[in-house]
Amino acid sequence: MAKWAMVTGPTAGIGAAYAKLLAAKGYNLVLVSRDLKRLKQSAADLTAKHGVETQVLSADLTTEKGIAALEKFITENQIEVLINNAGFGLNSSFVKSEAADEQSVVNILVSAPMRLAHAVLPQMVARKSGTVVNVSSVAGYFAAGHYSAAKAYVTVLSESLHAEVSKHGVNVSALCPGFTKTEFHQRAKMKMDALPNFMWLDADFLVAKSWTDAQAGKAISIPGWQYRVMVGLLRMLRVLGCDEPASLYVASSARKLFRALGASQMSGLRRWPRARRSRQSGLRSNRESRRESGEPRQYPDRLGHRVPSRGISFQERSGRHRHNPW
């Protein structure tokens, strides 16, 4: 009998990638979103491609009513996997934004993951199996507004729950992606044209890494070397006790570092064929000049001194009749 997985925000981006991954692994799916039309289309596509059962639930997780409806559904059904992915960001500073909008962010990014995890974990602990993946962000490691604060909560909550329930055979993990090719930034009307290409992650890649890490019992998954470096730098600066906010320092420094690194790598790749050709031509010219002058080739002896070959063949130097310069 196939097990059921619930994915919030499954119509695009990371949520859609997770729905595809779980369907490919044979899980039946409960798909949750506000957009019922897209939800039904996603469900039909997954059923047609993978032959799994799907159930769609239209719920607005920015509201108390929407969160409560999902809590009730979870307590009445057996859910083996919960992917808390739904969310959005505001393209405005905290001071200039509306309080109602900020509350909506808290509801969907903080209250919903906490309450859905609280609803599903008792049944997972009771049967000693289950996985909860909370989609957080590397933004949670930086002081960069309300969104970062909410994601910091999700990451720490996931670590705490992992420590509490892992001994019962239940996996709780926080996926902390960096910039990912999804609809997130377009919906928030954020201009991302200046971001270097190598800073973008593919949703399928990071979801596969997240699932592997969760099943391996890792509390936090940070796909992409560039973001692991950024988080490592930030943690190091905090340990060293930087006077200024370490997150702001790392954010600006890492941006310059990665831009320079990307430029140097590309320029190095451009120069490599030319450098290789020049080196090869230099070696050829040296060999030709030695032939014309009749100068014998030299080889290092046991002390590292270069001595003439004295006309000894390569086979004698490298085979049974090894040349002894003494």
Residues that are catalytic: 147
Q: How far is residue 150's CA from residue 89's CA, in Å, rounded to a whole number?
A: 10
Query: Is residue 315 a contact partner of residue 306, using CB atoms and an 8 Å limit?
Result: no
Q: Residue 35: which H helix or E strand, with range?
A: none
Separation of CA 234 from chain center: 17
Tell which residue, 227, 27, 18, has the closest CA to residue 133: 18
User: Which one-letter DSSP state was computed for residue 139?
Assistant: G
Q: 204: part of which helix (H) or strand (E)?
A: helix 203-215
Closest CA to 102 of 88, 112, 115, 114: 88
Structure tokens at 49: 């491609």
